[in-house]
């Protein structure tokens, strides 16, 4: 089939454009600085603010700096500090072990009680519960005579980070903290119309959770539903209200108010579904001494860091930050205990913790104040002093145009697959920091922080891409 004249012309233009790109000369450092200055001084920043720090680890020199010592809200760039500290102080092989304890099993397969000790595994799922139950079955357990008890002594009882917003109670961006985590401590509500009635289903289902509905069926308009948990009054109530078009199915995932209880209730109900009788209810308490581990699920830190960074999971970051203190504190760990270890990382990177404010491990808090210089210094410290940690962190960062929170950005460009960086977004805040491989094959370390924009996120991203495009072109 002969291509159309239009297609032939398009292909010719595309070929000439590709040849032009491949023949472009690399820019000297002086030329790069001039171009970067034009970007950081553009009219967009008459009202918004920008900070940029770029370091060349090959030459050991700063390539570019603008406002790099000024303090900005990092948003999810805080996860860089949490991940780096976890790799340095816990190590990639640190294991999240969710253990099930019990007395000896009787000859008839009966347990007098069962304890589950929470380790803070942020990726623990219903499938993991089922795996624990299979282990119980293989051990010959047929009945749990007493209670299923959850041990949540690892962490203190504060459920949120410092400076988090109360009206985020239902949002999975502000998850509730507990060592017994299940399904990201959230439940999905699926609402639809069946035989003229509104139905709301839960996934994963737990019978103690109740859905209250105030929903009008409206075939003339688009569905508009609000999903909320019962904060602060009820841990068992979930609310759905608004209108639904009978042709629609609307789903929303929201926080569960008492996730540790949710874990235990799911465990109990799935035991029963698997044929293990449970005579008692659920409760909380510390695991008694001298009990044996009869089932266990382990997950390495290196695996947890993937989802933490690529999908920017606040829950994973907050738990990892707190567990930085586990080397010297085994229970009642507070956020403050973990934050002290991030201070230690800042010192190791050659800077002073008192110059910054670190409020949480995820970046959700508006109290966080750091600089692009600090971020690039931590990334540089890993590059020089902790090469294994650097390699792991680079690989768990989203890859431009490839995966994670960068999967849709700059696809089919020179940046695709050459930028490994952590995004950071809050209202009025957009950050991007990490590593880039230039066209000449040299690595660069960069941090770009923007804030005080008014709903102009796309413009922020465009400027970030232009900055990265110039860094790619640096000789």
What is the per-residue pLDDT across 320-368, written as a single tens digit (0 to 9) for each? Answer: 999 999 999 999 999 999 999 999 999 999 999 999 999 999 999 999 9
Distance CA 88, CA 325 (A): 12
Quickly tell me which residue has 């941090």 as its tokens.
Answer: 447
Provide φ and ψ at 464, rounded to 5°.
-60, -45
At 11, the pLDDT band (50, 70, 90 cuts) reads very low
Lowest mean pLDDT among 16-20, 67-71, 459-463: 16-20
- Sort 141 into a burial class: Cβ within 10 Å, 0-12 / 13-18 / 19+: buried
Please state, for a pLDDT cut of 70, what percent of the chain lies above it. 95
Phi/psi-derived region of residue 426, left when phi > 0, alpha when psi is between -120 and 50, beta in every other case: beta
Distance CA 434, CA 80 (A): 9
- CA 261 to centroid of chain Cα atoms: 23
- Does 12 have pLDDT greater than 50? no
Distance CA 416, CA 371 (A): 26
Name the token pair of 465: 């891409």
pLDDT the model gives residue 16: 38
Q: What is the mean pLDDT of residues 467-471?
A: 97
CA neighbor of 362 nearest in space, from 91, 38, 86: 86
At 28, the pLDDT band (50, 70, 90 cuts) reads confident
Peptide bond before residue 474 is cis, with ω within 30 degrees of 0: no
Q: What is the mean pLDDT of residues 368-396?
A: 98
- CA 101 to centroid of chain Cα atoms: 30
β-bridge partners, 297: 98
Q: Which residue has the higher pLDDT, 11 or 88?
A: 88
pLDDT the model gives residue 6: 41
Write out pLDDT tens, residues 311-322: 999 999 999 999
Got the DSSP string for 59-94? Answer: TTEEEEEESTTS-B--GGGHHHHHHHHIIIII-TT-
CA neighbor of 362 nearest in space, from 123, 92, 48, 73: 73
Contact criterion met (CB below 8 Å) for 182 and 126: yes
Write out pLDDT tens, residues 426-457: 999 999 999 999 988 889 999 999 999 999 99
- Does 409 have pLDDT greater than 80? yes
Write out pLDDT tens, residues 103-134: 888 889 999 999 999 999 999 999 999 999 99
pLDDT the model gives residue 30: 87
Q: What is the mean pLDDT of residues 94-100?
A: 98
Contact criterion met (CB below 8 Å) for 235 and 241: no
CA neighbor of 189 nearest in space, from 148, 153, 216, 227: 227
Q: Which residue has the higher pLDDT, 386 or 15?
A: 386
Instruction: Count Cα atoms within 13 angstroms, Cβ side, for 445.
Output: 25
3-state secondary structure 353-417: HHHCECCCCCCCCCCCEECHHHHHHHHHHHHHHCHHHHHHHHHHCCECCCCHHHCCCCCCCCCCC
Distance CA 124, CA 128 (A): 6
Q: Which residue has the higher pLDDT, 21 or 152?
A: 152
Distance CA 233, CA 212 (A): 14
Please state, for a pLDDT cut of 90, what percent of the chain lies above it. 90
**Distance in angstroms between the alpha carbons of the first and the last residue of the chain:** 44
Sign of CA dihedral 445, 451, 453, 454: positive
At 193, the pLDDT band (50, 70, 90 cuts) reads very high
User: Domains of the chain by range and CATH?
Assistant: 28-92+304-472 (3.40.710.10), 95-159+259-299 (3.50.80.20), 169-255 (no CATH)
Contact criterion met (CB below 8 Å) for 394 and 379: no
Distance CA 16, CA 22 (A): 10
Write out pLDDT tens, residues 231-276: 988 999 999 999 999 999 999 999 999 999 999 999 999 999 999 9
Mode of pairing for the β-strands spanning 114-117 and 148-151: parallel
- Does 4 have pLDDT greater than 70? no
Lowest mean pLDDT among 166-175, 189-198, 399-408, 424-433: 166-175
At 24, the pLDDT band (50, 70, 90 cuts) reads low
């Amino acid at each position: 089939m002969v291509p159309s004249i239009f297609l032939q012309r398009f292909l010719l233009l595309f070929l000439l454009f590709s040849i032009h790109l491949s023949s472009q000369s690399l820019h000297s450092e002086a030329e790069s600085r001039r171009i970067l200055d034009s970007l950081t001084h553009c009219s967009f920043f008459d009202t918004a603010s920008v900070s940029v720090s770029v370091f060349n680890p090959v030459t050991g020199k700063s390539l570019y700096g603008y406002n790099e010592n000024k303090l900005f809200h990092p948003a999810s760039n805080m996860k860089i500090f949490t991940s780096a500290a976890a790799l340095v102080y816990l190590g990639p092989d640190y294991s999240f072990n969710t253990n099930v304890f019990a007395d000896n099993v009787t000859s008839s397969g009966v347990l007098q009680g069962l304890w589950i000790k929470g380790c803070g595994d942020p990726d623990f799922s219903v499938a993991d519960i089922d795996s624990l139950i299979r282990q119980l079955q293989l051990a010959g357990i047929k009945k749990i005579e007493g209670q299923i008890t959850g041990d949540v002594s690892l962490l203190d009882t504060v459920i949120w980070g410092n400076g988090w917003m109360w009206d985020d109670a239902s949002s999975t961006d502000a998850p509730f903290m507990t060592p017994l985590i299940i399904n990201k401590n959230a439940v999905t509500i699926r609402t639809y119309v069946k035989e003229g009635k509104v139905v709301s289903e839960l996934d994963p289902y737990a019978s103690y959770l109740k859905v209250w509905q105030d929903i009008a069926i409206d075939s003339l308009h688009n569905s508009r539903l609000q999903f909320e948990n019962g904060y602060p009054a009820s841990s068992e109530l979930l609310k759905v209200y608004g209108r639904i078009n009978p042709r629609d199915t609307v789903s929303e995932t929201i926080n569960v108010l008492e996730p540790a209880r949710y874990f235990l209730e799911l465990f109990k109900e799935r035991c029963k579904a698997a044929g293990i009788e449970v005579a008692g209810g659920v409760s909380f308490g510390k695991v008694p001494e001298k009990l044996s581990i009869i089932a266990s699920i382990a997950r390495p830190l290196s695996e947890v860091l993937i989802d933490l960074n690529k999908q920017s999971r606040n829950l994973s970051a907050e738990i990892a930050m707190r567990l930085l203190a586990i080397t010297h504190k085994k229970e009642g760990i507070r956020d403050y205990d973990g934050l002290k270890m991030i201070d230690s990382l800042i010192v190791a990177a050659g800077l002073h913790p008192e110059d910054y404010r670190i409020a949480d491990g995820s970046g959700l808090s508006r109290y966080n104040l750091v600089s692009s210089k600090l971020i690039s210094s931590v990334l540089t410290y890993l590059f020089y002093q902790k090469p294994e940690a650097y390699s792991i962190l680079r690989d768990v960062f989203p890859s431009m145009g490839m995966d994670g929170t960068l999967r849709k950005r700059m696809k089919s460009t020179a940046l695709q697959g050459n930028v490994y960086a952590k995004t950071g977004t809050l209202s009025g805040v957009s950050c991007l920091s990490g590593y880039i491989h230039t066209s000449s094959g040299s690595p660069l370390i960069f941090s770009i922080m923007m804030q005080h924009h008014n709903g102009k996120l796309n413009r922020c991203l465009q400027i970030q891409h232009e900055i990265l495009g110039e860094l790619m072109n640096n000789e």
